[in-house]
Amino acid sequence: MAERRLLVLFGSQTGTAQDTAERIGREAKRRHLRCQVQALDSCDVANLIHEPLVVFVCATTGQGDPPDNMKMFWRFLFRKNLPAGSLCQLDFAVLGLGDSSYPKFNFIAKKLHKRVLQLGGNPLLPVALGDDQHDLGPDAVIDPWLVALWDKILALYPLPPGLEIIGPDVRLPPKYSLHYLPEDCPPPDSDVLQPTAPGAAPCELQPFAARLVSNQRLTAPSHFQDVRLMEFDIAGSGITFSPGDVVMIQPQNCPEDVQQFCQLLRLEPDRRFVLKPTEPGTSLPPLLPQPCTIRHLVTHYLDISCVPRRSFFELLAYFSTSELEREKLQEFSSAQGQEELFSYCNRPRRTTLEALWDFPHTTAAIPADYLLDLIPRIRPRAFSIASSMLAHPERLQILVAVVRYRTRLSKPRRGLCSTWLASLNPQQSDVRVPLWVKKGGMKFPTDPATPVIMIGPGTGVAPFRAAIQERVALGCRGNCLFFGCRHRDRDFYCQTEWEELVAKGFLTLFTAFSRDQEEKVYVQHRIQENRRLVWELLSSGNAHVYLAG
C-alpha cells in the first residue's frame, strides 16, 4: 500500500496562508495521514521530486508578488533548466489567497499551478482562488474546496482497515508539550536578545539588538497624531542599506498585557520550561530560547494583541468547561457563524487578549501545552528607512506614526509596534530594539544627473528623506519633493531640514497643507499648478517619479 503522507507548503505574508495550511495539516491528521506543514522557503525544493502528494497554499502580495517566505522557492521553480517531466510523480493542489480589489488577483497561485503543470504534476483539483473581498472572506472558497480535496485524497489513499476519520468532537494533541523545570533549577545566562554573530548579516532568525539613540516627537503636542523620528545605532552590525530599503522591527507586548494574560490563564510569569515536540520531525520554534520563562514567551513571542482568527475559536471550544461559552465558540468557528465572528472580532478590531476576557471559564482551563497552537507568533513590522548612510554613518532612522484609533469598543485600538517604540526612552536606560534590513521596492537612479520627482504626503516622505540625503551627499541637485500634511505648524515633518536644502539649492520643495485654508489643498493640486516644471523634468530631463503614501 502506498505511503499515506502529505506535504503542505505555504507562502504567507500576514499569516492567513499559514493559518490555512495548519488547518489542512490538522484535517490530514484526522484522516491518519503523515503530514508536515512548512513555509516554502524552509523546504528543500530539490526533494519535491520524491514527494507523492503536496498541497500549496499561497498568498499574493503587492502587485502580484510572492510572499517573502517563498521568494527562493519561486526563483528555483522558474529556472529555465528544470526538465519538463521532473514532477510527473506528484499529485498536487493549489489554494490561493488574494484580494479581488487588486488587478493581479491571486496571481501567484495561478502562476504556480500553471508552472507545476508544465513540470508534469498531476492536479487533483482546479486552483482555488480565495478572496478577501467576499462577505465570508476566503473561507467561502476554502470550505467547499477542502471537502472536494479530501474526497480526492481518500480515493487515492484510502483509510487503513479498522481506522475511522477522527471526528471534530475529539481534540488533537498539541504540537509541543511544555515541561516546567524545578523552581530551584539555575536560571539561564540571559533572557535577552543576543547580539548577532559577527560576520553574519542580521536577519529574522538573527536580528541585531540596535541601541536606540533618540526618540523625538515631530508633531506639535496639540496635534491628534503622534509621529516620531527614531534613531538607532547600528555600529558593528554589518548592516548596509540604500535609499528605498526597509527595516524590519520585532515588537513586543507591553508588561500590563503580559500580566493580564498570565492572570487570566493562571500562569506564573517566572516559571521556566522547555518545549518538546509531540511528533518526530517537528522542529522547535525559532527565536525562543530553551529553557524559557512564561514571561519571555508571552512578551516576545505570543501575539496576544492580534485579532483572533476562526481557528483560535475552534481550538478554544475544546477547552471550555462552560456550555454557554462552548456554544458561542463553536458558532464562531462554524461556516455559518462567520458573519457573526466578523462583527465580534474584525469590525471592532477586538484583540486575542480581549476575546479571552469574554470567555473566562474557558480561558482558565487552557492547558499551557496548547499556547503555541492557539496563539500565533508576533510578526515583525516593516518601516521605510528615513536616513542615508552617507549622511549618518552607523545610524539608521525611521519615521513612526503611532497607530491609535477608536472603534465601538470603549478602549482605543493601539498599534502593537508603534505604541511600543513610542514608549521607549533612551535617556532612562540602554534600550535595545531587534531589527534587520530588507531590500525595498524603490530603486533611485544611479546617474546623478537624472532628476527625481518625489511625492510623499505624511510619513510617506520617509524613503524620500533617505534618497534626498544620499543625493545631496553625492552633490545631486535635481531633487523635487511634493510634501503634504494637514497644518504647516503641526505636522510639517523635517521642516528645517527641507528649508536649509532649498536655501542651498539642493531641493525644489512644494508643500500642500490641506487644513490651513477653507478649501482643502492636496499634493495633486500642487502638481497641477506646477505642471510645466513637472512636464519639463519628465520630457527633457528623463526624470524618475516616485510616490509613497
- What is the CATH classification number for the domain harbouring 61? 3.40.50.360
**pLDDT tens series, the chain, 549 aa:** 578 999 999 999 999 999 999 999 999 999 999 999 999 999 988 899 999 999 999 999 988 999 999 999 999 999 999 998 999 999 999 999 999 999 999 999 999 999 999 999 999 999 999 999 988 889 999 999 999 999 999 999 999 999 999 999 999 999 999 999 998 776 665 545 555 455 679 999 999 999 999 999 999 999 999 999 999 999 999 999 999 999 999 999 999 999 999 999 999 999 999 999 998 888 899 889 999 999 999 999 999 999 999 999 999 999 999 999 999 999 999 988 999 999 999 999 999 999 999 999 999 999 999 999 999 999 999 999 999 999 999 999 999 999 999 999 999 999 999 999 999 999 998 999 999 999 998 999 988 899 999 999 999 999 999 999 999 999 999 999 999 999 999 999 999 999 999 999 999 999 999 999 999 999 999 999 999 999 999 999 899 999 998
The answer to the question of residue 524 being in a domain is yes
What is the number of structural domains in the chain?
Answer: 4
pTM, two decimals, is 0.92
Say if residue 277 is in the same domain as residue 244. no
Among residues 47, 50, 39, 34, the alpha carbon closest in space to that of 279 is found at 34
Radius of gyration of the chain (CA): 26
Say if residue 11 is in the same domain as residue 142. yes
- List the beta strands (DSSP E) in 136-222: 176-180, 208-217
Say if residue 300 is in the same domain as residue 390. no
The answer to the question of residue 183 being in a domain is no
- What is the CATH classification number for the domain harbouring 315? 1.20.990.10
- What is the CATH classification number for the domain harbouring 384? 2.40.30.10
The answer to the question of residue 201 being in a domain is no
The answer to the question of residue 260 being in a domain is yes
The answer to the question of residue 178 being in a domain is no
Which residue, 156, 189, 224, sits at the end of a domain?
156
Say if residue 351 is in the same domain as residue 420. no
Pairing of strands 246-249, 272-277: unpaired
Say if residue 458 is in the same domain as residue 476. yes
Which residue, 352, 374, 396, sits at the end of a domain?
374
Question: Strand order of the sheet with strand 227-233?
Answer: 381-384, 246-249, 432-438, 208-217, 227-233, 395-401
pLDDT in the model for residue 196:
47
3-class secondary structure, 356:
helix
The x, y and z cell numbers of residue 83, run together, are 526538465
Say if residue 486 is in the same domain as residue 522. yes
Boundaries of domain holding 362: 255-374
Say if residue 238 is in the same domain as residue 310. no
The answer for residues whose C-beta is within 8 angstroms of residue 408's C-beta and 6 or more apart is 347, 348
The answer to the question of residue 113 being in a domain is yes
Measuring CA to CA, how many Å separate 173 from each of 170, 260, 316? 10, 27, 13
Say if residue 410 is in the same domain as residue 466. no
Taking a C-beta distance cutoff of 8 angstroms, is the pair 404, 412 a contact?
A: yes
The answer to the question of residue 489 being in a domain is yes
Which residue, 118, 138, 156, sits at the end of a domain?
156
Say if residue 418 is in the same domain as residue 531. no
- What is the CATH classification number for the domain harbouring 513? 3.40.50.80
Say if residue 419 is in the same domain as residue 537. no
Burial environment of residue 176 by CB neighbours within 10 A (0 to 12, 13 to 18, 19 or more): buried
Say if residue 347 is in the same domain as residue 462. no
Say if residue 390 is in the same domain as residue 478. no
3-state SS string for 294-334 = HHHHHHHCECCCCCCCHHHHHHHHHHCCCHHHHHHHHHHCC
The answer to the question of residue 189 being in a domain is no
Q: Give 3-state DSSP helix, strand, coil % of the chain, rounded to 5.
A: 35, 20, 45
